[in-house]
């Protein structure tokens, strides 16, 4: 059996292993083998009906007074897209002194 759960609030990685569609909740297995409850309200930038079992996620482990350890702030484990580089605009060439005198 795996060891005790890490301290609440710890950033963790895992995969969704079970979904209870009628109750809008499920379970995540952490990278160290623990199984943690989550509710659909804890998803960030994800819709409950769009997630599937085996989806890699990152989350924050918290201690819920009712359900015990719970995953919060759940999002996909994919890296964030890189920011677009700023587009440089061409500047007009400065006028030469010879053309300014004409």
Position 63 scores a pLDDT of 86
How far apart, in whole angstroms, are the C-alpha atoms of residue 78 and residue 57?
8
Q: What is the pLDDT of residue 51?
A: 93
Q: Tell me the average confidence (pLDDT) per consecutive run of 10 residues in the chain, 102 residues long.
A: 59 94 93 93 93 94 85 79 58 65 58
Give the chain's radius of gyration (CA, Å). 25
The pLDDT score that the predictor gives to residue 75 is 94
The pLDDT score that the predictor gives to residue 85 is 58
Name the DSSP class of 43: B
0.75 exceeded by the pTM?
A: no
pLDDT for the residue 64: 80
Strand extents, DSSP E, 1-102: 10-20, 25-30, 35-39, 56-64, 68-76
32 backbone φψ class: left, alpha, beta (φ>0; ψ -120 to 50): alpha
C-alpha span between 92 and 82 (Å, rounded): 31
């Amino acid at each position: 059996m795996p060891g005790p759960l890490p301290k609440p609030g710890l950033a963790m990685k895992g995969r969704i292993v079970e979904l209870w569609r009628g109750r809008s909740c499920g379970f995540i297995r952490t990278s160290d083998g623990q199984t943690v409850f989550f509710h659909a309200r804890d998803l960030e930038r994800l819709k409950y009906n769009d997630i599937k079992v085996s989806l890699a996620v990152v989350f924050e482990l918290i201690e819920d007074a009712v359900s015990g350890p719970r995953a919060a702030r759940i999002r996909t484990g994919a890296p964030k897209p890189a920011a677009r580089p700023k587009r440089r605009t061409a500047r007009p060439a400065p006028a030469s002194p010879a053309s300014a005198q004409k």
